[in-house]
Structure 1
């Protein structure tokens, strides 16, 4: 009985399909001496990606030069939905993705918005108060 259970367990754990190699249809990469770059690729299963990076002086005194990256990618989800994501990433705002598939926050309830609007009209607190 234990042997039969072990055989069933190993059979269930085995990969159901061998890994399929996906061909790269197009690939470009251009690196410049100043650190900027551009890359893109496309695969036979419909994945596409591109990114541009540029070097800039960091805004903080404790950091060196930084790369500002901007790009996007697309692919087809298992349910058939085409996913498109665009992004920008820098040292000031971090990674900022945009895509229709990303969740969005619910609207602010009217009572909360009214309180926020009121608070925005108040003068700032005097210095030295925390």
Structure 2
């Protein structure tokens, strides 16, 4: 029984595919100031460029990455990171459904009510708490 177990273990290890693990990585370029790009052996690509901005020297970055899904379709993502924040663009990102007309009308009504309340807030003072007594 022990011999059969050892033989089965040897057979399983010999039949195991040897493609496990991360793919080999090929670097095509690294660090040119605040920029870099690379590509892995399985087609993943990444690139970034940075430029100092303003008196503080903060770096505004832009770049992106791409890869291929197992079904063969490609994925492309680009980004910008600067004083306006981090913004990503890709066809892969979900987008919200458009608002129905009644929701847009309700939002507009609320905006008008807020504007009217703000216009009136300067005319009235807060209610008195002393009721005429010092």
Coarse TM-score class (shorter-chain normalised): 0.5 to 0.7
Q: How many corresponding residue pairs?
A: 106
2:83 corresponds to 1:91: yes
Deviations along 1:65-116, one digit per CA (max 9) or x if unpaired, are 42211111100123332110011112332x2111001111121121111222
Higher strand share: 1
Structure 2 distance, partners of 1:97, 1:81, is: 20
Mapping for residues 1-130 of structure 1, pairs under 5 Å: 18-24=20-26, 26-31=28-33, 37-57=34-54, 64-93=56-85, 95-121=86-112, 123=115, 125=118, 126=121
Unaligned 5+ runs, structure 1:
1-15, 32-36, 59-63
Q: What SS class does the counterpart of residue 105 from structure 2 fall into?
A: helix
- The structure whose RCO (Cα within 8 Å, separation 6+) is larger is 1
Provide the aligned C-alpha RMSD in A: 3.1
TM-score normalised to structure 2 length: 0.62
TM-score by length of 1: 0.64
